[in-house]
Amino acid sequence: EGKAIGMTAIVIMLFLFSLLYVTGKQKTDVVECVPYDKAYTTPRINQIDDKTYQVFAVAKMWNFEPSQIYIPVGSEVDFYLTSTDVVHGFNIAEKNVNMMAVYGGINKTTVKFTEPGVYKITCHEYCGIGHQNMQAEVIVN
């Protein structure tokens, strides 16, 4: 009987660990909804301090603006995303970022870039003939 209880305890612990692991992982990719403001439809990069940036990313057929985002290693970036036409995707595969760009809506996520490199942003929602070439990049160095 003691053995059965021990096994049960192990199973419960494994379950709790996997739950913690999953929630911990999702923490890096929480998409928030931000109240709509027309200011977000103007693409721009705002530097808050040496390692903190805001990017107002605008998706439209068929590109993202800004299309090149240069930041130093270790930067934390708040991405505010909208679309000026149809629904687009906003995917940074290496950073587990997966957002939708929607007309009239703003989605936000925060990403920390701790390694130098070029991080591709791609549209992963079919949006017409130019879809597969719709991309941008974050250049971290």
Measured from the CB atom, the residue of 17 and 126 that comes closer to ligand CUA is 126
Which pair of tokens denotes residue 98? 């997966």
Query: Does residue 134 touch ligand CUA according to CB under 6 A?
Result: yes
Strand order of the β-sheet with 88-92 is 68-71, 135-140, 117-122, 88-92, 97-101
Site for ligand CUA in 83-102 (CB under 6 A): 88-89
How many positions of this chain bind ligand CUA (CB under 6 A)? 10
- Binding characters for ligand CUA, 46-65, by CB under 6 A (x = yes): -------------x--x---
Measured from the CB atom, the residue of 53 and 119 that comes closer to ligand CUA is 119
Query: Does residue 123 touch ligand CUA according to CB under 6 A?
Result: yes
Query: Does residue 69 touch ligand CUA according to CB under 6 A?
Result: no
Report yes or no: 40 and 49 within 8 Å, Cβ to Cβ.
no
Residue 111 parent element (H or E): strand 106-113
Query: Does residue 126 touch ligand CUA according to CB under 6 A?
Result: yes
Measure the CA–CA gap between 140 and 97, rounded to whole angstroms: 16
Burial of residue 101 (number of CB atoms within 10 Å: 0-12, 13-18, 19+): buried
Output the smallest distance, CB 25 to ligand CUA, in A.
26
User: Quick count: other Cβ atoms within 10 Å of Cβ 141?
Assistant: 10
Residues that bind ligand CUA (CB under 6 A): 59, 62, 88-89, 123, 125-127, 131, 134
